[in-house]
Structure 1
Amino acid sequence: MHAKQLQAMARTLLTFLLCIYLTLAFCVIYTDARKRVTKIGRDTVTPGRSNFTYICDPARYAQLGLDIKSFPFCDKKLSYQVRARDLVSQMTLYEKVRQLGNRAYGAPRIGLPEYEWWSEALHGLSNVGPGTFFDDSVAHATSFPTPILTTASFNESLWNTIGKAVSTEARALYNLGHAGLTFWSPTINVARDPRWGRIIETPGEDPFVVGTYAANYVRGLQDVEGTEHFKDLNSRPLKVSACCKHFTAYDVDNWKGVERYSFDAKVTEQDLAETFNRPFQMCVENGDVSSVMCSYNRVNGIPACADPKLLKQTVREDWNLHGYIVADCDSIEVMIKNHKWLNVDNETAVREALVDRSLQYLYVVLMRLGIFDGHSQYNSLGINDVCSNEHIELAAEAAREGIVLLKNDNGILPLATGKYPSLAVVGPHANASTAMIGNYAFDPWNKGTPCRYITPLNGFSSYGRVNYAAGCSNVKCPDGSLIGPAVQVATTSDATIIVAGIDLSIEAESRDRLDLFLPGKQTDLINQVANASKGPVVLVIMSAGGVDISFAKNNPKIHAILWSGYPGEEGGQAIADIIFGKYNPGGRLPVTWYQADYVDKLPLTSMQLRPDDSNGYPGRTYKFFDGPTVFPFGYGLSYTKFNYTLKAATNRLQIKLTKFQHCRDLPYKNGTFKPSCPAIAIDDLRCNKKFKLAVEVKNVGNRDGDEVVLVYSQPPVGIVGTHIKNLIAFQKVFVAAGTSKTIQFAINTCQGLGIVDSYGNALLPSGAHTIIVGDGAIVFPIQLTYR
């Protein structure tokens, strides 16, 4: 072997070891992504095979000619930690290194088979990762709406139920030899800027909502019924293993030549603690996720996957992760080539004991999954549990619950069934299929599709005779040559539905937007069709990030507007069902829809959330931006009307301090009242107090409907540098027409009224806090004092 080859091998080994040293976890070098691995946590896999084995099956070891008694890691009487330690101790250094990529090669000498770690389940099973694949025997999986639309439902139980359905299909595919059990999902980065291409994957702009979504979806994926409150969380059984990604301050992909691979996110401790890290903390502490993925970018000069403060101290120690940390694909190579971190090509060293510890984290997770000992309660799952009627209906329900009604002039919607026998269905998304699925679904290079597609054309055909014209050759609508036929069908139809928006050619991973307009000639198409239409006009927008459609909002000839996100395989039916009143929309926007000039005021690469007066930058998200919007965060209409009444509320909170609790100072604006004890560090408080409120929600309309009750807090007037308001609780409730329901909220005082100061410290300010329910339907103070 040539010296250069030896040097290359040495560099590869050292890179692996550096990764382990820095993260004390598990890092991925992207390998063989297109190559199908036929050993997924067990021996040779035959597609469609249902009689699988598990690693520590005595018969398997006998067949391998190995004495299972020689391998204590197969002794079920021992704890997982002891077994994992024994397994690693029986490997040579060469064997250990071969387990450190996403394709772990196993160690046949001790009966350890290969395993492919990388599978994806963002909104259904995907073949984007090499750990899951489809063929003629298993060709489909249920594709739910992308997370940005599912989040718009503000329905925690729905989020959890979708996770359960996805994990059931995952277990079925595992039994059939088509998937592993470790899924690098969900994405829980906050949607800080509307231009970011991966908003499609996220649960929106509010860190509390993002974290709540993460915890519920992860619980749905991971929890084995009856073991949710297992005493030893390191031994808690897992249905599948989830992974919350990408940690942290990651939301720039490719904007004006700035790429995620070299981007250095300059983030204050305040924004890091308050916004970027909070969803990950909730995912670990509330969701008990078994993996966290670090991101490509640097954070204040240090690659996220090389920062022991973030990974070892914060994730593993402060938050007490029970699982492993994984680097994003190629991120170790990116660390070397793009970040030029620590000149790793030259020299580094690491103790083998650190490699051992990292491998132990991995094998404990596989043991919790039952890969070593089996998981009998899931053995019966198979092809009939994939694309079941129940899961298909759940996908439709998720789309219906998430779709947001943005405009409804004179109550034109819902359209009366039978009143509009002919329907013009036009626009670049009028016959959308794959566009509804979004990303991290099915890789077009490989087999695999959703259970079925219900396009908008399919959906509307059940309500009338459809006259279709695309109006554009594709979503970029490069010219107006096809507008004429769309105008023509609108003039001869009883009602017109325009389905427009953007898709993965505009916003996606590695593709950030430059503006907030509809692309190409879409605006011309919409206006011309609306002006010519014979009957009512409904505009449907597919997108993840907001689009400035002020022209449509202000156009009296466009009577109604819906946002449908990317609604999944059943999206077309869900859209039609809402427009014709089979379902009363109740979704709320999980992101702010800014006016187009917002993006001219600040670069995507400026990470701060608060306004920057020195540069003229506005604030970001509803928490810090108080300028004009097209539609605000939390906005959404219904076909009925709800009234709120405050039935009961806590108005005063008094906390008695001990001699060990000391007041913390806060900056106040000149001329405002400053309490003698401005705040106490939350870490110094027991934080067991709650404040309560009871809200009666009355449906005063004539249609049954869902209402999302949003509860915000505002800090005491005058504190410098804090949020305008902050969502602290939400609940979705169904209320029949003419009836009412009372919702009870009990909110932890520290979580509901706390703020983060400029140093990143969590503080509980004294003074008059304000609670706001909905859009200001209820406003009342809570006076917090220390004595």
Structure 2
Amino acid sequence: MAITMPSSLLPFLPLLQLTIILSISTMPQVRPQEAPAPGPPFACDLSKNPSLNGLKFCDPSADSAARVADLVGRLTLDEKIGWLTSGAAQVPRLGIPKYEWWSEALHGVSSTGPGTKFLSPVPAATSFPQVILTAATFNESLFHAIAQVVSTEARAMYNVALSGLTFWSPNVNIFRDPRWGRGQETPGEDPLLSSKYAVAYVRGLQQRDDDSGDHYKLKVAACCKHYTAYDLDNWKGNLRYTFNAIVSQQDLIDTYQPPFRSCVEQGNVASVMCSYNQVNGKPTCGDRELLDGVIRGQWGLDGYIVSDCDSLEEMFNRQKFTKTAEETAALAVNSGLDLNCGSFLVKNARAAVNRGLLNESAVDRAVSNNLATMMRLGFFDGDPRRQIYGSLGPNDVCTKANRGLAREAARQGIVLLKNTEGSLPLSPAAITSLAVVGPNANATVAMIGNYAGTPCKYVTPLQGLTASVPTVYHPGCADVFCAIADVDGAKNVIAGADAVILVVGSNQSIEGEGLDRVDLTLPGQQQTLVSEVARASRGPVILVIMSGGGMDVQFAKDDPKVTSILWVGFPGEVGGAAIADVVFGHHNPSGKLPMTWYPQSYVNQVQMTDMNMRPDPARGYPGRTYRFYTGPVVFPFGHGLSYTEFDHRLVTAPVHVSLPLDENHECRRGLSTSCKSIDAAEESCNGLDFDVHLSVKNVGSRTGGHTVMLFSSPPDDVDGGAPTRQLVGFRKMELGPKDEEIVEFKVDVCRHLSAVDENGNRKVVLGQHLLHVGTLTHSFNVHI
């Protein structure tokens, strides 16, 4: 099935075409299908179960709610409980097969979870860059396009019984601390960027390709996780299974919740996953206020709430939050949980009902939410191979176009952190020998990060670079731990080279699920390797950092012998080709850091267990993320260089913004001088916005992508810990040499210019605000 390129990606089409052309040589041959593949699991197979004919739950033309009610009314209590677990049990008498809910699609169809298998006839799937690098593109259209491809490959695999239809992705937690091993899975530290990524990715996964506009039907079902304030795995003995995150209402509303809210309200996500940890003393999967109250009540989730895997077991056995297993089961379901990843509810829900702790009506509600999701996926509509996606199969996986998109995503995400004049890009014609050194120089598995599947075919950094120029290679270290750096061996290899590429960093043995970092420096003796090789080099030295989180590479930033620095995240299966594209100037880098890079001193000032975002000078606490952090940085959020230069000029923006309050408002009754803010929830705030138009010009000699990032800062005298600045909007664009375009932003006064107070209430701050893009600033007054 062909994938239609979104119109918003058309500016990047020439680059994408180049990517596809350059990828052809590394593409695997189309796999011949040796034998008919087994069919996918589905219910209501009337050809095998004629007795189901006429039953409402098997009638696709019937109202969905009526279908669900009909089915639930036919199930016994034990059969209902069997559909409260990720390994849902079959109900043969009603023609319902077993179903595995747990599949993953974080940045490609993943092998994590029992719902997906990579076997013939689909032994691999496209592995896109890890999320943190994709987020660095700041390209919403690209987020959406990647998810569309992932959902197509997922449906293709489902049709040959190799995956499910419910994918527990994306991870939208805020990357609060650089030590977090799973920060690589997230879109970064900014709530707006994370929210926009979440919405675009969820819509790309879920929306049908038939342009019907029917948002009820799903292509696949996405899940936003891990709700909420979850960002610690295993740090100095503090485990995610027992960690109690003490979070102020201010930080919860201001920082941790926005991506989840956007997932539900704007993305219409089918599911939210509650996390292992406690928040303020309550397990998230057993907190009725957080689940039933917020997700379903305030935000209006139309779908199901699922636990992280075995989190109910952890709640009972490790957290010891309840006295008995039945009490834990009852607490979870009564709080709003619908599905248990694991077997805890299957083992204990019946006993909870028998003891009167759990009403069958609560079970009905939960199983109805689960079954309604499966209805939306067509699971109860008969053979899916006769439905809209029935023609998808092995030939729709690992296509040239899909791998080309993976390469384009990596190219757009790569961040140029430093570039001394005359260093990058290298000219292939001028390079007779390129030295490639470092423990990640020939990396394969390290490139795809965690929650990945079996990739179609790797292109390592060494392979990508070798395809353009003659190379010599030395690893320099046995692995990323680099207990001993072979400096002499590396020096011997680089002796005759015109330029040196050093590929260093980490992998899943340094930062990953269940593993947080303690330090921010390059692991082991990698710094020594870099410095010594740079000192001995006779030409440009390009440092390439492969990692999920930021690294303290101040030494390289300050070293004149290290002429350029690139951060490439975990760039996906064709990451090596993307790195070569940037190094040799086939692609002009346009990535921007989606997280702050801190110095090593940060880890001595900040305990990872401290959830507070705002600084506290009294205890020497510098705060977290660019919005609040007051200390030194190695590279700031949003940093990223290009091979060209862009100028910004303000075209349109207001000088005054008036809030239309009712005459009886307390701030108008002679008390206006005492009013420093108004409630953003007030009716007068709805729909109040203004336009900002900026002219952006490429003043250089190269075509390049550019992200325009619009920030706002509150008045200087604002109280209550407002962010020093926050992202209001961003736009990705492509400009040729000397080209100029107008970029338009619509600023929502009550959403973008507000701050959350200590009680969790959002307020529009009155007074002089500041908008800024790069070095351009504009002041305006918000008043009543």
TM-score (norm 2): 0.89
For residues 735 and 105 of structure 1, the distance between their equivalents in structure 2, rounded to whole angstroms, comes to 55
Q: What is the 5 A alignment of 1:74-153? A: 74-153=58-137
The DSSP-based 3-state class of the residue aligned with 1:287 is: coil
Paired residues of 2:431 and 2:498 also in contact (CA < 8 A): yes
Match for 2:318: what amino acid?
Answer: N
For residues 400 and 664 of structure 2, the distance between their equivalents in structure 1, rounded to whole angstroms, comes to 59
The DSSP-based 3-state class of the residue aligned with 1:557 is: coil
Q: What is the 5 A alignment of 1:334-733? A: 334-345=314-325, 347=327, 349-373=357-381, 376-442=387-453, 449-480=454-485, 482-658=486-662, 662-663=666-667, 675-685=673-683, 686-720=685-719, 721-733=721-733
CA distance change for structure 1 residues 106 and 593 in 2, over 3 Å: closer, same or farther? same
1:295 is matched with which residue? Answer: 275
Paired residues of 2:711 and 2:772 also in contact (CA < 8 A): yes
Task: Choose which of 332, 348, 363 in structure 1 pairs with 2:312.
Answer: 332
CA-CA distance at 1:48 after TM superposition: 5.4
Q: Name the Cα RMSD after superposition.
A: 1.8
For residues 226 and 383 of structure 1, the distance between their equivalents in structure 2, rounded to whole angstroms, comes to 21
2:49 is matched with which residue? Answer: 61
CA distance change for structure 1 residues 73 and 537 in 2, over 3 Å: closer, same or farther? same
The alignment-based identity, stated in percent, is 48
CA-CA distance at 1:346 after TM superposition: 6.8
The DSSP-based 3-state class of the residue aligned with 2:711 is: strand
Match for 1:426: what amino acid?
Answer: V
Paired residues of 1:119 and 1:182 also in contact (CA < 8 A): yes
Paired residues of 2:41 and 2:161 also in contact (CA < 8 A): no
For residues 259 and 594 of structure 2, the distance between their equivalents in structure 1, rounded to whole angstroms, comes to 15
The DSSP-based 3-state class of the residue aligned with 2:504 is: strand
For residues 625 and 665 of structure 2, the distance between their equivalents in structure 1, rounded to whole angstroms, comes to 34
2:56 is matched with which residue? Answer: 72
For residues 48 and 622 of structure 1, the distance between their equivalents in structure 2, rounded to whole angstroms, comes to 54
2:736 is matched with which residue? Answer: 736
For residues 713 and 68 of structure 1, the distance between their equivalents in structure 2, rounded to whole angstroms, comes to 60
CA distance change for structure 1 residues 649 and 322 in 2, over 3 Å: closer, same or farther? same
CA-CA distance at 1:77 after TM superposition: 3.4
Paired residues of 1:407 and 1:561 also in contact (CA < 8 A): yes
CA-CA distance at 1:751 after TM superposition: 1.5
For residues 66 and 249 of structure 2, the distance between their equivalents in structure 1, rounded to whole angstroms, comes to 38
Match for 1:780: what amino acid?
Answer: H
The DSSP-based 3-state class of the residue aligned with 2:618 is: coil
Match for 1:189: what amino acid?
Answer: N
The DSSP-based 3-state class of the residue aligned with 1:782 is: strand
The DSSP-based 3-state class of the residue aligned with 1:450 is: coil
1:189 is matched with which residue? Answer: 173
For residues 738 and 441 of structure 2, the distance between their equivalents in structure 1, rounded to whole angstroms, comes to 36
Paired residues of 1:699 and 1:738 also in contact (CA < 8 A): yes
Moved more, 325-334 or 690-699: 690-699
The DSSP-based 3-state class of the residue aligned with 1:239 is: coil
Task: Choose which of 239, 244, 250 in structure 1 pairs with 2:219.
Answer: 239
Paired residues of 1:454 and 1:571 also in contact (CA < 8 A): yes
CA distance change for structure 1 residues 663 and 490 in 2, over 3 Å: closer, same or farther? farther
Paired residues of 2:657 and 2:783 also in contact (CA < 8 A): yes
CA-CA distance at 1:166 after TM superposition: 0.0
Match for 1:600: what amino acid?
Answer: N
The DSSP-based 3-state class of the residue aligned with 1:713 is: strand
The DSSP-based 3-state class of the residue aligned with 1:614 is: helix
The DSSP-based 3-state class of the residue aligned with 2:219 is: coil
CA-CA distance at 1:229 after TM superposition: 5.0
CA-CA distance at 1:87 after TM superposition: 0.9
User: Does 1:255 pair with 2:235?
Assistant: yes
CA-CA distance at 1:286 after TM superposition: 1.1
Q: What is the 5 A alignment of 1:154-193? A: 154-193=138-177
For residues 391 and 574 of structure 2, the distance between their equivalents in structure 1, rounded to whole angstroms, comes to 27
1:22 is matched with which residue? Answer: none
Paired residues of 1:664 and 1:680 also in contact (CA < 8 A): no
CA-CA distance at 1:377 after TM superposition: 1.8
CA-CA distance at 1:383 after TM superposition: 0.6
1:15 is matched with which residue? Answer: none
Match for 2:174: what amino acid?
Answer: V
CA distance change for structure 1 residues 785 and 72 in 2, over 3 Å: closer, same or farther? same
Moved more, 746-755 or 652-661: 652-661
Q: Which whole-Å deviations, capped at 9, do the CAs of 1:651-685 have from their partners, x for residues lacking one?
A: 221122126755599xxxxxxx9943222212213
Match for 1:712: what amino acid?
Answer: F
1:322 is matched with which residue? Answer: 302
Q: Which whole-Å deviations, capped at 9, do the CAs of 1:220-251 have from their partners, x for residues lacking one?
A: 00011356854xx6xx1100000000000001
For residues 531 and 228 of structure 1, the distance between their equivalents in structure 2, rounded to whole angstroms, comes to 61
CA-CA distance at 1:395 after TM superposition: 0.3
Paired residues of 1:639 and 1:703 also in contact (CA < 8 A): yes
The DSSP-based 3-state class of the residue aligned with 2:261 is: helix
The DSSP-based 3-state class of the residue aligned with 1:577 is: helix
CA-CA distance at 1:360 after TM superposition: 0.6
Match for 2:53: what amino acid?
Answer: I
Match for 1:713: what amino acid?
Answer: S
Paired residues of 1:151 and 1:402 also in contact (CA < 8 A): yes
For residues 132 and 265 of structure 1, the distance between their equivalents in structure 2, rounded to whole angstroms, comes to 32
Match for 1:392: what amino acid?
Answer: R
CA-CA distance at 1:54 after TM superposition: 4.2
Task: Choose which of 212, 221, 225 in structure 1 pairs with 2:209.
Answer: 225
Paired residues of 1:255 and 1:604 also in contact (CA < 8 A): yes
Which structure 2 segments of 5+ residues have no match?
A: 1-33, 328-351
2:782 is matched with which residue? Answer: 784
CA distance change for structure 1 residues 346 and 372 in 2, over 3 Å: closer, same or farther? closer
For residues 402 and 674 of structure 1, the distance between their equivalents in structure 2, rounded to whole angstroms, comes to 48
CA-CA distance at 1:136 after TM superposition: 3.1
Q: Which whole-Å deviations, capped at 9, do the CAs of 1:240-298 have from their partners, x for residues lacking one?
A: 00000000000111000010011000000000000001110011111110000000000
For residues 742 and 724 of structure 1, the distance between their equivalents in structure 2, rounded to whole angstroms, comes to 27
Aligned residues: 717
Paired residues of 1:531 and 1:557 also in contact (CA < 8 A): yes
CA distance change for structure 1 residues 134 and 391 in 2, over 3 Å: closer, same or farther? same
CA-CA distance at 1:47 after TM superposition: 8.9
CA distance change for structure 1 residues 226 and 767 in 2, over 3 Å: closer, same or farther? farther
CA distance change for structure 1 residues 660 and 604 in 2, over 3 Å: closer, same or farther? farther
CA distance change for structure 1 residues 664 and 544 in 2, over 3 Å: closer, same or farther? farther
Match for 1:733: what amino acid?
Answer: M
CA distance change for structure 1 residues 662 and 384 in 2, over 3 Å: closer, same or farther? farther
CA distance change for structure 1 residues 346 and 565 in 2, over 3 Å: closer, same or farther? closer
CA distance change for structure 1 residues 736 and 283 in 2, over 3 Å: closer, same or farther? same
Which structure 1 segments of 5+ residues have no match?
A: 1-45, 443-448, 666-672
